[in-house]
């Protein structure tokens, strides 16, 4: 699949990737006090990847990230309430 807009959003893709790594690092710490932060970072990363998937015309990737985004928002709610 050819990524048509890759040259326009190359930098933000790396930021989204780094945010995903940071989120995984925080979530794998297994500290209940900080997991909401990890899910919050994951939410931002997912939102970025949904945008990239829509921009590239990659609907399956955008839908997968959308599902993960909903689960991340649910996790944030569960930790804060």
Q: What is the pLDDT of residue 3?
A: 54
Q: 48-62: per-residue pLDDT in tens?
A: 999 988 888 888 988
DSSP assignment of 46-71: HHHHHHHHHHHT-HHHHHHHHHHHHH
What's this model's pTM, rounded to 2 decimal places? 0.77
Kindly state the helix (H) or strand (E) to which residue 76 belongs, with its residue range. helix 59-80
Sorted by where each begins, the domain ranges of the chain are 10-24+32-80
Q: How confident is the model at residue 4 (pLDDT cuts 50, 70, 90)?
A: low
| pLDDT at 69 (0 to 100) | 86
- pLDDT tens digit string along 17-42? 899 999 989 988 878 888 888 888 99
């Amino acid at each position: 699949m050819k990524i048509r807009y890759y040259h326009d959003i190359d930098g933000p893709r790396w930021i989204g990737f780094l945010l995903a790594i940071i989120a995984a690092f925080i979530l794998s710490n297994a500290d209940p006090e900080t997991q909401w932060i990890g899910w919050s970072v994951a939410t931002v990363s997912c939102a970025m990847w949904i945008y990239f998937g829509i921009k590239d015309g990659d609907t399956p990737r955008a839908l997968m990230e959308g599902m993960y985004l909903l689960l991340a928002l649910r996790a944030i709610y569960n930790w804060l309430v």
